[in-house]
Amino acid sequence: MTKIKLCGLTRPEDIAAANALQPEYIGFVFAAKSKRYVSREIAAALKAQLSPQIQAVGVFVNEAPETVAGLLNDGILDLAQLHGQEDETYIQRLRKLTNKPLIQAVRVTDAASLANAQKSPADLILLDSGAGGTGTAFDWTLLEKFERPYFLAGGLDPDTVGNAVKRLHPYAVDVSSGIETAGKKDPAKMAAFVAAVRKNDK
């Protein structure tokens, strides 16, 4: 079954919509330059409102391992998603500070980038077209012989995700801009996205 991650949630009403839909994951963005940035305090308040069946993922870009581990170990996050230039040494440092699962985001440009993703020491990988939240897709034909389970991100919305699920059968799909209207999470689009995944996940 393809799992669902609704990313970039920032408001109590976003959490309420997610609780009604019950995706497997939601995401909080801790990259300061992102328009979806949330502070530790906001994330903690939102996590307190989140259904216990949904796991909270923190998205980080080259953040200090101690900061990431603190959010994980304090129960504000269940997983960390590394979206910068974090390398194997960084992941090893982080693993010494926490035992929570780690997701490494990989920008897919060619077969070589997928080879790097295959070797990632992270627990899970996320395949994207570039900087998170841009709403653009990469060439999915590159994935035809890729065997490691992955989160698929980039260019997904309620109209495209059904085809992605039927064609690729990813471990999970990740969406942010594709469920927004005027820069805010749209409950109707969130519901349509989840419905499209579940309808096509046969």
Task: Give catalytic residue positions.
Answer: 7, 128
Work out the end-to-end distance of the chain between its first and last CA atoms, rounded to an integer number of angstroms. Answer: 8
Q: Are 126 and 81 in contact (CB under 8 A)?
A: yes
Burial group, residue 145, by CB count within 10 angstroms (0-12, 13-18, 19+):
exposed
Gap between the Cα atoms of 134 and 25, Å rounded? 20
The helix/strand/coil state of 96 is helix
Sign of CA dihedral 47, 48, 49, 52: positive
- State the angle between helix axes of 161-168 and 187-200 in degrees (0 to 180), rounded to the nearest 10: 30
Chain CA centroid to CA 31, Å = 13
